Amino acid sequence: MAWLQRLNDPQRHPLADNLAETYSRLLARLDPVSPFELAVLGARAMPTPGLAFLVGYQAALRVLRPSAPASLGALCASERRSVRPADMQVRLTDLRLSGSKDFVTAGLDADWLLVAARSEAAGEAVQLSLAVVYPGEPGVRLEPLPALPLMPEVGHARLHLDQALCERLAGDGWDAYVKPFRSLEDLYVLSALCAWLYGVGQDNAWPQALQLRLIALLGGCAEGSRQCADAIACHLLLGGLFAQFAALKDEINQVLSTTPGDWATLWQRDQGLLEIASAARAKRLAKAWANAGLS
């Protein structure tokens, strides 16, 4: 496990003027890495959990689209707090996109955007496609949104599209992209935040037993990265990993309370990142549990 050997690098990654430059310099430092290594080694070097989240998010995007550029990207799916295809209004017609997406993570710093859009003909059943657009191109406008209490250093934006020319990706937009990304994001963000906590613990001489449990969790995440994101096994394993992490919550908070520096404040601010999609994750786990005959 090459990632485990490199995980002991104590060097923190310096922040640049913006997220895109920070991420670019991180990639140059890491050299070619797999998405899992990016999530773990990159997050270990970040100064905040929010920036660790961003690295995990980028890793998940690269599993979703292996041919993605090395630069910062974002998935644009939600409209009015929903990602259900039937609720979407963004339309793809003749390789032109029109409509708005209301929540784009790191949108103002992203170099490329994956946009989920309705593409069925009038009167047909709902069909979703995934298309690529680039900020700054005609018809593509990003509107900054107010900073959130969680990870305020990672901005969000609203995307406006007006007959924007795009590239349509092969495959069904829901089954091949939006649906599996929810599990990919869960896995790679969990990996990133566990690696960030491990780094804090290693730098501040946390109890060996806690550091080992975090390493064991990362080992489970590494196995999860080898699973197909929509497979029953992946959802069961992911459920187990989140259960293990939840069991460490009190111990982590306790040791952070005696750790010098701002680590405890940063973690208290951002630890809710793992709860954002907990309801949807629980539904996927319940379905996988039943389909595996474990009910």
Residues 255 and 251: their CA atoms lie apart, in Å, by: 6
On whether both 228 and 269 belong to a single domain, the answer is yes
60 and 92: one domain?
no
Q: In which residue are the tokens 């613990």 written?
A: 201
- Least Cα distance to 93 among 119, 71, 113 occurs for 119
Q: Please say whether the beta carbons of 117 and 91 come within 8 A.
A: yes
Read off the pLDDT band of 1 (50, 70, 90).
low
277: pLDDT confidence band, cut at 50, 70 and 90?
confident
- Of 151, 168, 185, the domain-final residue: 168
Structure tokens given for 59: 């890793």
Q: Which residue has the tokens 């974002």?
A: 74
Q: Nearest Cα to 30, choosing from 17, 43, 47, 16?
A: 43
Query: Do 128 and 96 share a domain, yes or no?
Result: yes
Q: Are strands 112-118 and 73-76 parallel, antiparallel or unpaired?
A: parallel
Considering the domain architecture, whether residues 43 and 183 belong to the same structural domain is answered as yes
> Among residues 113, 143, 168, which one ends one of the domains?
168
How many structural domains compose the chain?
2
Q: pLDDT tens digit string along 94-134? A: 999 999 999 999 999 999 999 999 999 988 999 999 999 99
Q: Structure pTM?
A: 0.96
Claim to verify: residue 143 and residue 186 sit in the same structural domain: no
46-55, 220-229, 275-284: which has the minimum mean pLDDT? 275-284
**pLDDT at 65 > cutoff 70:** yes
Q: What average pLDDT does the segment 240-250 reach?
A: 97
**Per-residue pLDDT band at 16 (split at 50, 70, 90):** confident
Same domain, 155 and 281: no
CATH code for position 147: 2.40.110.10
Residues 77, 48 share a domain: no
Q: Do residues 81 and 47 both lie within one domain?
A: no
Of 168, 184, 214, which residue sits at a domain end? Answer: 168
Kindly state the percentage of the chain with pLDDT values over 90. 89
- In this structure, are 185 and 251 located in the same domain? yes
Residues 185 and 277 in one domain: yes
Boundaries of domain holding 137: 73-168
Residue type present at position 90: V
* Residues 133-149, mean pLDDT to the nearest whole number: 96
The SS3 assignment for 41 reads helix
CA R_g for the chain: 19
184 and 108 inside one domain? no
Whether residue 150 is found in the same domain as residue 77: yes
